Amino acid sequence: MAIWSAFLMLVTPFLIPLTFNRQIPLVVGRTIFAPVLIWVAGVKLKVTGRENVPLDRPVIFVSNHCSHFDIACLFASLPRNLFFVAKKELLWVPFLGFNLWLTGHILIDRSNRKKSIASLRKAARNIAGGRCVTLYAEGTRSTTGEMGPFKKGAFHLALDAGVDIVPIYIDGTFKIWPKGSLKITPGKVSVSIGKPITTANYSKQTVAAFVEDTRNAVLALKP
């Protein structure tokens, strides 16, 4: 899996000048990278609700987060090119950082509140301009497999960008690759995609209700 990931991170940047398409690594990610990674890991992936994904407008996908393997599962499950919102420190990770920057993923500077707010405003403009992004509203991977409380960042971002949130529940990745472990165990994973939740029903004053309603929608998708 590591060799396959490193190989594609080295190769896909060269496809950008050949295709004149900065998003071609994202296409490769969901059509080649993720399916092969899932196959190598011995994972059987089941996806339900794919018809709920809007194809004509940008959205924010919000899911639970139990494992690094969630990334491959989302790439393989969603029929949209996915941009991830990640911490800026990942720029310094060999191969990964260069690919994140080159492909145009949204990097948040969390060194202080002012820079963080500026990063989120820039992210909102990028989303409103057409990028579909994925956010793990818990902020970090679960250490137990159970879903934790949601933070408000994703919801302020949705309100600022004026885009819907699509709830997703990922089941099974914690058993396959739990946090703190290097061991990967073959198994079954299900990705359940819910119907979009419109921001039109919420405001900055009711963001707490937006968070709670979305978290309940994600939990309702649990098998």
How many other β-carbons are positioned within 10 Å of the β-carbon of residue 26?
A: 23
Q: Which residues contact 1 (CB under 8 A, 6 or more apart)?
A: 37, 40, 41, 184
- Domain map (residue ranges) of the chain: 2-220
- For 16-30, the pLDDT digits (tens) are 888 888 889 899 999
Q: What number is the average pLDDT over the span 95-105?
A: 81
- For residue 34, the model assigns a pLDDT of 95
For the 2-220 domain, the top CATH level (class) is: alpha beta
What is the structure's pLDDT at 215?
A: 97
Residue-by-residue DSSP string for 93-129: STTHHHHHHHHT-EEE--SSHHHHHHHHHHHHHHHHT
Using pLDDT thresholds of 50, 70 and 90, give the confidence band for residue 101.
Answer: confident
pLDDT in tens, 128-181: 888 899 989 998 899 999 999 999 988 999 999 999 999 999 999 999 999 988
What's residue 161's pLDDT?
Answer: 93
